[in-house]
Structure 1
Amino acid sequence: MRMEIEMLARWTALAAVALLATACVNPSSTAGSATPSATTASSGPKRIGFFGFAKANSFAAATFAGVEEYARANGATAEFLDPNFDAQAQVRQLQDAVTARRFDVFVVQANDGAAVVPAIRSAVQAGISVVVHFTPVGTRYDTAQPQVDGTITLIDPPALNGEGLGRLAVQACESKKLNPCEVGYLEGLKALPLDNARTQAAVGVLEAAPGVEVKARLEGGYTQESGRKAMQDVLQKDPGIDVIIGASQAILGAEAVAKGKDIMYVANGASRQTVKAVQEGRWYAAYYLPVKTLGAKAAELGLNKALGEQVPDTNVMTDVEPGTSMGTKDALAQVTGEYDE
């Protein structure tokens, strides 16, 4: 009888241990379950993965400078993953980072907003805080609202950006009372859906304006060299062009080619050189965004969410420093710019 009692006690103890072990298993780590939460991915400093357009792009580099600075000041780390404007390379980088659970926060400048959607969904399901930066993730380019549930946006919708560029060009034409006013648009990269949406919106504004003629539309890219080449083509076909719109890097190249010509420039960018050119009257205006500040803001939103804090899911870039985005000389009077081309 005593032996039976001892055996019963032993089996009871073993059952209790088994029950405790079962209760301690993380449900997300069992077979067939979802990917484990990223809250367990890093027991040390929080880690931010910045999936920027390209390291060679001054806009993306300035954004990362803001991300990295905020991360360092708040006990986190940041890393730039460079797809060099290759949309599919960026998708692979995102997928690999989710699988490896390398980061607690993603800040994503999507080269192709539709292509990255599955990878972004996977990141959210893995518990990673995802900040959609500058351009939308999804198929709509006219809204700042998140198109993937669980993400945070901090963007400047390309369609609204394009409309702003178009309005600035129309103002440039009106400032000199030109009728007709010949406008050339140096598009970004035709392979990028966000650039196509921006171009369509800008051209729509231009074509609706009385007396404005869109004389040239060609790829201007995001470097001074691509801007120089595009401007050479414009002047060969339309030497009397009055206004040129393009990325600030391309406009710097275009200006060098068109020295001595009475052309008004409308730039899409916010470098110190861009701001100075507008303040000096060399360029008519720039669509301005405080790029480094916005990088820091993205890091702040992502880290706060990763730490369990409540953050707004929809954030519009032009609200960060209101009144400067439509950057004529007066609007940029007190602005210096936050990076160099």
Structure 2
Amino acid sequence: MAARWTALPGLAAVSLLAAGCVNPNTGTSNADGGPSPSASAATSPGTSGGAKRIGFFGFAKANSFSAATFAGVEEYAKANGATAEFLDSNFDAQAQVRQLQDAVTAKRFEVFVVQANDGAAVVPAIGSAVQAGITVVVQFTPVGTRYDTADPQVDGTITLIDVPTLNGEGLGELAIQACASKKLDPCEVGYLEGLKALPLDNARTQAAVAKLKAAPGVEVKAQLEGGYTQESGRKAMQDVLQKNPGIDVIIGASQAILGAEAVAKGKDIMYVANGASRQTVQAVREGRWFGAYYLPVKTLGAKAAELGLRKARGEQMPATNLATDVRPGTSMGTKDALAQVSGEYDE
């Protein structure tokens, strides 16, 4: 991310991040009914170069989203003759930069998988890693200052990210579908964005709101900070209902939506969540929420490990990889789209 702060970077950067603690039961099998991430990889890495070590620079160990991602990284590594270690920056951008720098100097790992707390702050350290011959996989959030592309912004890296502007457009499209499902015209929509101070959140919000405003019969009646906790979602929803008691659709991070739903109990409101937890999927499948922007978090961790190990072992790997391509057809997660999945982490 391009922001220069350390207090909240990781939590706010990603709307799919779960606010809860580590879920020790992320499991070793694929919760969505398919083979485990290690078994589902298209091709196992070669054996050239011997055992490899993966350094996973995650948002925080105490974050269930990061924990599930690492579970996928670690499972794939173990199944393919490698090791993996979680380096915990605990949402501190500058701590993550220091960890990266120290790991480059110490030559501790042949592969880095990086969930950047601050995509701009880590650029120099990522560049140093590439120059040192370390394979770097940029995972989930961009490294750099652009939020509208999956292409690497540091030469020599591999990306496996969810493009923030495409995420925003997807959320907007789900809300439009929600309006159409009840033939509402006009349809009043409220958008609970993450944190207004963050460039990544702003890019996502602008894309979502532009999509909504271009849709006939859709009116954006509320746009305010919803954050990434149930408490922040509750507060935001109270403000929305005070000014717009007839709101039809609410969009927000899954944690914020859980809070909003509690405040609006009994009202005929459709919810669109940005999240992929088991609780989110259950809410959509039960019909409580209209839809969710879904990504298979643990499977994406395994895919990042696969990309890194195979490149480190001499294979040619694509530099640009979209997270939404790993399990096609599920990111726009309506009830039908999520019929065969159950989520890969708990809030």
CA separation of 1:153 and 1:163: change in aligned 2, threshold 3 A: same
**TM-superposed deviation, 1:225:** 2.8
| TM-score relative to the length of structure 2 | 0.81
Distance in 2 (alpha carbons) for counterparts of 1:88 and 1:212: 42
**In the alignment, does 2:113 pair up with 1:101?**
no
Structure 1 letter corresponding to 2:136: V
Pick which of 192-201 and 73-82 moved more.
Answer: 73-82
1:155 — aligned with what? 161
The Cα of 1:208 is off from its aligned counterpart by: 1.5
For residue 149 of structure 1, give the secondary structure of its aligned residue in structure 2. coil
The answer to whether residue 241 in structure 2 is matched with residue 235 in structure 1 is: yes
Q: CA deviation at 1:75?
A: 2.9
- Tell me, yes or no, if the aligned pair for 1:113 and 1:194 is still in contact at 8 Å: no
Give the 3-state SS of the residue equivalent to 2:223 in structure 1: strand
Distance 1:174 1:52, change over 3 A: same
Correspondence for 2:200 among 194, 202, 216: 194
Pair 1:211–1:54, CA change in 2 (3 A): farther
Map of 1:282 onto structure 2: 288
Q: Deviations over 1:90-117 (max 9, x none)?
A: 2232223222322221111123222221
> RMSD of the TM alignment (CA)?
1.8
Match of 1:209 among 215, 218, 221: 215
- Whole-angstrom CA distance in 2 between matches of 1:72 and 1:278: 34
Query: 1-side partners of 2:160 and 2:79: how far apart?
Result: 21
1:20 counterpart residue number: none
Q: Deviations over 1:270-305 (max 9, x none)?
A: 111111111111000111111110100001111111
Structure 1 unaligned spans of 5+: 1-42
Give the Cα separation in 1 of the matches to 2:235 and 2:161. 30
Structure 1 distance, partners of 2:180, 2:124, is 45
| Structure whose residues are more often helix by fraction | 1
Give the CA deviation at 1:53.
Answer: 2.5
Counterpart mapping for 1:251-266 below 5 A: 251-266=257-272
Where relative contact order (Cα < 8 A, 6+ residues apart) is larger, the structure is: 2
Closer, same or farther in 2 for the Cα pair 1:334/1:174, shift >3 Å? same
User: Of the candidates 301, 305, 309, which is equivalent to residue 295 of structure 1?
Assistant: 301
**CA distance in 2 between partners of 1:56 and 1:111 (Å):** 14
Identity %: 89
State the partner residue of 1:219. 225
Supply the AA of the counterpart residue of 1:308. G
> Is 1:164 matched up with 2:185?
no
Task: Please show how residues 51-70 of structure 1 align to structure 2 within 5 Å.
Answer: 51-70=57-76
Q: Distance in 2 between matches of 1:262 and 1:87?
A: 41
TM-score by length of 1: 0.82
- Worse overlay, 48-57 or 260-269: 48-57
Partner residue, 1:5: none
| Distance change >3 Å, CA 179–CA 104, structure 1 → 2 | same
Gaps of 5+ in 2: 1-48
Tell me if 1:332 matches 2:342.
no
